[in-house]
Structure 1
Amino acid sequence: MRAAAAKIAAGPRGALELTKKALNQATLTSLDTALATEKAGQSELPRSADFVKGATAMLTRRKAVFAD
């Protein structure tokens, strides 16, 4: 359990926050609200520093390191 928590904690904070928000919206609100939340996240994340770090790491075949 601690290993899983550590792995999640080392991930991209912005993406994790928006994923949690989208999951909560999907289960606690209407479909339209959930889809709007997902659309907002999908529009925001590709412009983030974490996206650039992750994409660069993938393209250069190295591990991404996220730090906030």
Structure 2
Amino acid sequence: MARSNRTLVPDAKNGLSKFKNEVASELGVHLKEYNGDITAREAGSIGGEMVKRMVEQYENNIK
């Protein structure tokens, strides 16, 4: 099955980018336009925290 990177919800890209920057800032990771110099641990921490918060929000919304 071929994968596609097309955006299904155009506003989602900007929202996720803003969310990523907020989480990174709270974790003390400074993101720039090019982030190839951050460590895998830093990138994983940002992604993991984003997922954690999205799951928490979903769980709160279904209650």
Q: Which has the higher contact order (CA 8 A, sep 6+)?
A: 1
TM-score per shorter chain, which class? 0.3 to 0.5
Question: Which has the larger helix fraction?
Answer: 1
TM-score by length of 1: 0.38
